[in-house]
Chains A and B, each alone.
Chain A
């Protein structure tokens, strides 16, 4: 379990961060390990490994991780360097960037899908996504 808040993204090792269903969190959430969100998060969420947005969760802000799984609602851009999966209950309003996208039957996805070619492709798309996120937030 490891989490850092704010701009100081110092990695900490551990089993992961969990945001409970009745928790409302505002700010930047970072963990070098896995993040599981059951509650509400307003702000940037990033992990070096995996982010799971469960059925009860609502995230407003950009999500970045190696693997992202969405079963709840995510408003904002999603960047998954590995795999992004939208489960049947998942709702995504924003652009997604990944090399491996799975959208299950029943999932809602409103936004642009980018499939970058290599790490440079990710960097280019991330810049574009940042612009879009700012426009989205405005």
Chain B
């Protein structure tokens, strides 16, 4: 029933064994595979789907989770396959979203198997992510954002795409004002702290064009797209296992 894809890079063998022991003790042990130069994460996930597993569990960073999500959405359109996650960081946005606080909690959540249908962000041509992706620039830059038929010119230093396709734009001027604010704090000057530089939008689709060179969209340290970037919100794209007492609005089981 459970098919585990374990990220081994940077993980001690003892930690891997510990996870397997906990899963075995909970009675949810299954086939465990790890990516290698011969088999990528996507290939392993596809293999799990072909083998007919109903639950594919990603063990590791958000990078592995996003790759498994990509495989699940691309391959299991007509199949009822759920995603489980054992994150490697419990301070991450993903862990918070799942409602798990530590390894044992994450494993118990897998056992209790509460399914929630969640949105995912799709980036053309076929990449997906669950948590967030960013476009960052080290020097003042401008990007054009198109939402449906509307266009906006945005000076920025960081753009963050979040689940539900929430777009948060941090202006370069804000970064500069951070240092001004710091200086004012040191000099104990009283200034108005209202942020007028940041922008927030939400849409079903968004396109980014960068007139001043190519910019990259990065999710968990990996480049998933380069400008022009087209991102789309995929409502109810995936069934994911969350902690049983997590507040949910879209429970399916």
Contact = CB atoms under 8 A, between A and B. Distances in A.
Nearest to A28: B150
Contacts of B152: 19, 23-26
Contacts of A17: 200-202
Interface stretch (B29-37, B44-52, B166-174, B218-226): B166-174
B99 interface: no
Interface in A8-41: 8, 12, 14-29, 38-39
B147 A5 contact: yes
A2 interface: yes
Given A1-B200, A17-B202, A38-B196, A23 B153 contact: yes
Given A21-B171, A22-B171, A3 B202 contact: yes
Contacts of B153: 23-24
A116 interface: no
Q: Dominant SS at the B interface? A: strand
B111 to A, nearest CB: 33
Contacts, number: 80
A8 B34 CA distance: 45
Contacts of B166: 1, 14
Contacts of B171: 20-22
Contacts of A28: 149-150
A20 B196 contact: yes
B7 to A, nearest CB: 33
B16 interface: no
Interface of B: 147-155, 166, 169, 171, 173, 196-204
Interface of A: 1-8, 12, 14-29, 38-39, 43, 54, 56
Q: What 10 pairs across the A-B complex have the smallest Cβ distances?
A: A27-B150, A6-B148, A20-B199, A5-B150, A5-B147, A5-B148, A25-B152, A38-B196, A21-B196, A6-B149
